[in-house]
Amino acid sequence: MNATSPPEPPIRAVIAPVTPLQQNCTIVWCSKTKKAAIIDPGGEVERLLAALKQYGLTLEKIWITHGHLDHAGGAAALKAATGVPIEGPHPDDAFWIDDIEQSGARWGMPEARSFTPDRWLHDGDRVTLGETEFEVYHCPGHTPGHVIFFHPETKFAQVGDVLFQGSIGRTDFPRGNHADLIRAITTKLWPLGDDVRFVPGHGPMSTFGQERRTNPFVADAVLAES
């Protein structure tokens, strides 16, 4: 009997840390069509374009989780280079996007530009990529308009700065809210399943189950005591 190879997953992804803040920009693509989205292109656009070429991908979308400089500072340049639409974040982050150029000057990233998304995203929206689809969840707290992208079939999520391995997003920025962030994590992320693998905005990947067991801010045992 001939051995058969396992079927290729419907999506694939690579993480490309960008900017001096080492933000986890993610290139995700539909395996069947090689159509790709770049999630949170904070900068280093030429390197991201080279990565698309390296993997033989065609850029179809730019997705933004939230409006902070290190996540969205390169979106305008990437759109100018490719002509593809920008989707996200939620409109409550418009003030952060408007501040990108000023933030870039402060952080030594003068090439960063503000923009207007082609599509603002809301809780319950869906975004398409090639022949596959991601769900959108509004998860405020780190910023008021933060969204995350979830692919149910592969249990894969890009959560930006909502949740990290062993930590959670800061809430001391303008219009940040700690209670909102905890509520978003426990009512939007946890119901997606302990087996969901996620890419955070910074640092290594983890699973929701691991964070429910060990995260000192949002582990089940920690929240039960609060």
pLDDT tens for residues 169-180?
999 999 999 999
Side-chain-side CA neighbours of residue 31 (13 Å): 8
Measured CA to CA in angstroms, residue 149 lies from 93, 104, 190, 218, 223 at distances of 16, 25, 14, 20, 25
| Alpha-carbon span 221 to 219, nearest angstrom | 5
| Alpha-carbon span 17 to 169, nearest angstrom | 18
β-strand pairing of 197-200 with 206-207: antiparallel
Q: Residue 1 pLDDT more than 70?
A: no
pLDDT tens column, 80-108? 999 999 999 999 999 999 999 999 998 88
Structure tokens at 37: 């989205």
Q: Say if residues 180 and 140 touch (Cβ distance below 8 Å).
A: yes
Q: What is the C-alpha radius of gyration for the chain, rounded to an integer number of angstroms?
A: 17
pTM: 0.96
> Is residue 25 classed as helix, strand or coil in its secondary structure?
strand
Which domains, and CATH codes, for the chain?
A: 11-225 (3.60.15.10)
Side chain identity at residue 178, one-letter code: H
pLDDT of residue 6: 64
| Alpha-carbon span 188 to 125, nearest angstrom | 14
Number of H helices, E strands in the chain: 8, 13
Report which secondary-structure segment, H or E, holds 103: helix 100-106
pLDDT of residue 43: 94
Q: Which residues of 22-36 are buried (b: 16+ CB within 10 A; e: fewer)?
A: ebbbbbbbbeeeebb
